[in-house]
Structure 1
Amino acid sequence: MVVKASFQNSLPLSEPLPLRRQRDYRLLWTARTISVTGSEVSKLAIPLTAVTLLTASPSQMGLLTAAASVPALLFGLQSGAIADRLSRHRPLMIACELVSCAAAATVPVAWFLGLLNVTWLITVALVIGSAGVLFKAANFPHIAAVVPPSQRTDAMAGFQACYSVASVGGPSLAGLLVQVLTAPLAVLAEALSFLTSALLLRAIRTPEKNEPAVSRGMWRDVREGLRASITNPVLRTLLGAGVTINFFAMAYTAVYMLYMVNTLNIPKALIGLLIALSGIGGLLGAWATTRLSRRYGENRILLASVIFFPIEILAVGLLNGPLWWKLSLLSLTGMITGGIVVAFATCMGAITLRETTPELRGRVNATMTFAVQGVLALGGICGGALAEIVGLRPVILICAAGIALSTVWIWASPLRPRRPRPAPTPTPDFTPTLHQSLDSAIPSKRYSGLN
């Protein structure tokens, strides 16, 4: 149970301070922003190290790329069970950041010593990925300790904004660091970001009073999380919509670059700018979601946002014309989609927190992450294979139609507000006569359409 005294710098529960004025939330948000930005740097620096310094083969690059997502499939469900067993989540989060820091720091050290090879990089990616899985499992329930219930949607929007900040600034910072310091030394920036995040988390003062769930064994705990995610109608809806969106989104991503360059003839230098505009749209989406949710609620925002999900992909699939028109439409739809994705993810996180009991939050979040992240690889494989058969443009149009199916998940669920049924007409106290009974069976002119 969350008590009023557990929130730093808060007024009475009905009027909490704005999140930007709450010290511990600022620390938590800053820690995530710095850590995620460092990860964005490594997404460029580590592959460049493998390609330019270690002359990695295509198969080795494939293993290196897969190493980042493998831990989510191997340990994702178990990480949620571990998080739910803890009375305090922050120590685990700090430990994960320190382990990631140490792993990233070995890359420049091994390079200086002449020991660096592709296997080393793959091992580093596996360690950082595993620590990241545990961190995310603990971070989700930890938010409930730092942020009052009435402000959790705002907090979720803030965290989504930090990902948008990282997506905009991370690649540019990575390119600069690689140019100035070389790729292995650029990885050191990721190590420093993890260390900074750990120090900021250490400075949070909000006491955690989580009631650990009673463990019945790892796999039984995991099954409880799976059961809760599937049997709860709202959680099942979010899970189904998330899997649908991510599958078709990754199928689209698999052919996106080829289609943009070879079919639409978009200059390669401008593709990065279009991606950055999507990140800017995410920032605007986070700002708008915090305000709209107070007026309309998370359910209505989710219902509205899912309708617009296919817009960008549909526009890309149908796009023709001069370059200025292509760039204008892609910029507009990219910013809109960036905002829509953040709005959807924010409300999805807030509703998941609301619908899940405290003792199951870690496992339910881990189940969601396992499903929506695990389907990414399958979507990418299917998108690439289908493009070989039917071509690039048909695959993109199929992906637009597939993502539109998420609308069915959301709009056919309990998240959609139902109109209350009219109250039944009270039965009269007296016994009607035959004449009165016959009259009641004859429709009046008002409803029969007679004049």
Structure 2
Amino acid sequence: MKHSLHDSPEPAKAAPVPLRKQRDYRLLWTARTISVTGSEVSKLAIPLTAVALLAASPAQMGMLTAAASVPALLFGLQSGAIADRLTRHRPLMIACELVSCAAAVTVPLAWLLGVLNVTWLIIVALVIGTAGVLFRAANFPHVASITGPEQRTEAMAGLQTTYSVASVAGPSLGGLLVQLLTAPLAVLAEALSFLASALLLRAIRTPERNTPAVSKGMWRDILEGLKVNITHPVLRALLFAGVTINFFAMAYTAVYMLYMVNTLNIPKGLIGVLIAFSGAGGLLGAWLTARLSKRYGENRILLVVVLFFPLEILTVGLISGPLWWKFGVLALTGTAVGVIVVSFATCMNAIVLQETDPQLRGRVNATMTFAIQGVLSLGGLVGGFLAEIIGLRPVIIVCAGGIALATFWIWFSPIRPGHRRPTRPITPSPPPSTEPFITTKRHSAP
């Protein structure tokens, strides 16, 4: 049988080099893992500094907790627009890490000089939080510049695992450093992690060739992203579920350290170990979700895991007994909630990606980040001040009930099988031709 020229098979494409063998991706992954691990150390060391050395009140702890997330409210939406207008993202990422390093270094220095106070810690948290908002906005498009289109999903998944790795290593390391060096000096580990991250990012060689996005203007773009999140039924359900979870999770976090140390009498070193169990659960959750989603789909997994969000908070609020019993139960529930949080976040991101038009994904993501992460500051303030009025244990019980409300947003939405209306991604409205071009993106859901 004769074959014409058109019948000849196309040459097979060479398989892409695995990400683990790509130098620049390894540098980026390592930089993020080190940086996030240092931040996890700080999440333990800074609150312990405030509680143990500075005798912080519940209200002050609420303000300190809120300070880390206030920048998401102030700059979350604008950071996405800024990132979209950059031709090179890595210089901004390096600058953010260096600023965070400088801010973290001031904590042990101020303590050694005898001038450290809670206000100082709040300012440091604000500076590092602002740098983090800008970093995350630039990091997302930067991944696309060092990986091919066929590997970007795998690359983003790999970077997401850094948070689980850091959650396992960071708290344990933090507890050890607090015991050996005292809490303020343990913050030095965070500063060194930011510096190491900046040096690793500087070593990346892949050139960036980003074309700044054409826009109708920063604020009009922001408003369009907000409109899509509110009017699209699936995105709206995910948005408000995330806001509900993060508000009550941060209210709980604001009083968590005080309650564990002063009410449950958990040793400070063991608190870090308990947090590490949650990180281990996150690794397990990532593994399970990747496999179960192929069989059951992200929607069904989301409907199940949202039911168990109050598990650990309710356990913390009700548990009593000897130390071995409290530690064992809290380790078990912490591991379970680690699975739940990562499963929820993974499925949520997959559904958002599916439901959103590619031209709107940046703005939809920025709006969700702004709302879901920005509400953390309000939750922290409410949790701290409410504890002054009704006490620590009642606040924890309230938070368990409040976080359960997220179930209603998910179950009474098109996400639920049998209730899902056929939807298609909402497309952006075309810009008017007269518009000028402006050159100027633990329990909590990510």
Rounded to whole Å, the distance in 2 between the matches of 1:222 and 1:365 is 11
Equivalent position of 2:73 in the other structure: 73
CA 1:389–1:365: 2 relative to 1, 3 Å: same
Corresponding residue number in structure 1 for 2:141:
141
Instruction: Decide whether the 8 Å contact of 1:104 with 1:191 is kept in 2.
Output: yes
Render the CA deviation track for 1:105-128: whole Å, top value 9, x for unaligned: 56667788x696557665544332
1:109-120 to structure 2, matched below 5 A, reads 118=117
Q: 1:228 & 1:332 partners in 2: Cα distance?
A: 39
Could you say what the CA RMSD is over the residues aligned between the two structures, in angstroms? 4.0
Asked if the contact 1:35/1:197 (under 8 Å) is kept, the reply is: yes
Q: Deviations over 1:325-361 (max 9, x none)?
A: 4443322221011111112122323433444445544
Task: Give yes or no for contact 1:140–1:362 (8 Å, CA) kept in 2.
Answer: no
Separation in 2, partners of 1:325, 1:109: 39
Change (3 A) 1:281 1:57: closer
Q: Matched residues in 1 for 2:385 and 2:121: separation?
A: 28
Q: Which position in structure 1 is the counterpart of 2:406?
A: 406
Q: Does the residue aligned with 1:79 lie in a helix, a strand or coil?
A: helix
Higher relative contact order at CA 8 Å, sep ≥6: structure 1 or structure 2? 2
Structure exhibiting the larger radius of gyration computed from Cα positions: 1
The equivalent residue for 1:166 is: 166
CA contact (8 A) 1:37 1:166 kept: yes
Please say if residues 252 and 395 of structure 2, whose CA atoms lie closer than 8 Å, have aligned partners that are also in contact: yes
Residue aligned with 1:215, SS: coil
* Cα distance change of structure 1 residues 144 and 236 upon mapping to structure 2, 3 Å threshold: farther
Indicate how the Cα distance of structure 1 residues 379 and 98 shifts in structure 2: closer, same or farther if over 3 A, else same: closer
CA distance in 2, matches of 1:315, 1:50: 25
Q: 1:208 to 1:380 in 2, by over 3 A?
A: same
2:99 matched residue in structure 1:
99
Find the counterpart in structure 1 of residue 287 from structure 2: 287
Deviation at 1:374, TM superposition (A): 2.4
> 1:79: Cα distance to partner?
0.9
Q: Secondary structure at the match of 1:163?
A: helix
Which letter maps to 2:244? T
Correspondence for 1:434: none
Match of 1:276 in 2: 276
Q: Is the 8 A contact 2:168 2:280 kept in 1?
A: yes
Equivalence for 2:232: 232
CA distance in 2, matches of 1:268, 1:101: 25
Query: Which amino acid in 2 is paired with 1:330?
Result: L
Judging changes above 3 Å, is the alpha-carbon distance between structure 1 residues 317 and 193 closer, same or farther for their aligned structure 2 residues? closer
Matched, 1:370 2:351: no
Aligned length: 408
Residues 152 and 355 from structure 1, CA distance in 2 versus in 1: closer, same or farther, beyond 3 angstroms?
A: farther
Residue equivalent to 2:191: 191
Mark the CA change 1:121 to 1:377 in structure 2 (over 3 Å): closer, same or farther. Answer: closer
Alpha-carbon shift at residue 81 of structure 1 (Å): 1.6
Q: Give yes or no for contact 2:46–2:183 (8 Å, CA) kept in 1.
A: yes
Structure 1 residues 39 and 267: CA distance shift in structure 2, 3 A: closer
Q: State the shift of 1:244 in Å.
A: 0.9
Question: Relative to structure 1, is the Cα distance of residues 93 and 363 closer, same or farther in structure 2, using a 3 angstrom cutoff?
Answer: farther
Aligned-pair CA distance for 1:240: 0.8
| Structure 2 CA distance for aligned equivalents of residues 200 and 149 of structure 1 | 23
Deviations 1:6-44 (A, max 9, x none): xxxxx959x766544444433322111111122233445
Q: How many Å separate the matches in 1 of 2:269 and 2:171? A: 13
Q: 1:99 to 1:274 in 2, by over 3 A?
A: closer
* Residue 89, structure 1, aligned to residue 111, structure 2: no
Equivalent-residue separation in structure 2 for 1:181 and 1:319 (angstroms): 31
- Corresponding residue for residue 8 of structure 2: none
Structure 2 counterpart of 1:426: none
Residue 41 of structure 2: aligned partner: 41
**Equivalent residues of 1:157, 1:289 under 8 A apart:** no
Q: CA deviation at 1:163?
A: 1.9
Deviation at residue 319 of structure 1 after TM alignment: 4.2
1:213 corresponds to 2:213: yes
Partner of 1:132: 132
The one-letter code of the counterpart of 2:31 is: A
Query: Is there any run of 5+ residues in structure 2 with no aligned partner, and where?
Result: 1-11, 422-446
The aligned residue for residue 344 of structure 1 is: 344
Report the Cα offset of residue 257 of structure 1. Answer: 4.6
Contact 1:305 1:343 in 2 (8 A): yes
1:98-154 C-alpha deviation (Å, 9 max, x unpaired): 332344456667788x69655766554433222111011122333455556776665
SS in 2 for 1:414: coil
8 Å CA contact retained: 2:27, 2:201: yes
**Alignment identity in percent?**
77
Distance 1:149 1:400 in 2: 42
* Unmatched tracts of structure 1, length 5 or more: 1-10, 422-451
1:314-325 paired onto structure 2 within 5 Å: 314-319=314-319, 324-325=324-325
Q: Indicate if the aligned counterparts of 1:63 and 1:122 stay in contact, CA closer than 8 A.
A: yes
Is it true that 1:246 corresponds to 2:240 in the alignment? no
Residue deviations 1:71-106, cap 9 Å, x none? 222212211221222344333222322332344456
1:359–1:44 distance in 2 versus 1, CA, 3 Å: same
Q: Deviations over 1:255-301 (max 9, x none)?
A: 44555566656566544332221121112222323333444443343
Q: Distance in 2 between matches of 1:203 and 1:372?
A: 33
Matched to 2:224, the amino acid is E
Question: TM-score, normalised to structure 2's length?
Answer: 0.74
Q: Which residue identity does 1:220 align to in structure 2?
A: R
SS in 2 for 1:213: coil
1:27 and 2:39 aligned? no
| Matched letter for residue 96 of structure 1 | C
1:330 partner SS = helix
Contact 1:84 1:360 in 2 (8 A): no
Contact 1:96 1:134 in 2 (8 A): yes
* Structure 2 Cα separation of the partners of residues 250 and 51 of structure 1: 17
Question: Relative to structure 2, which stretch is displaced further, 340-349 or 253-262?
Answer: 253-262
TM-score, normalisation: structure 1:
0.74
Change (3 A) 1:110 1:407: closer
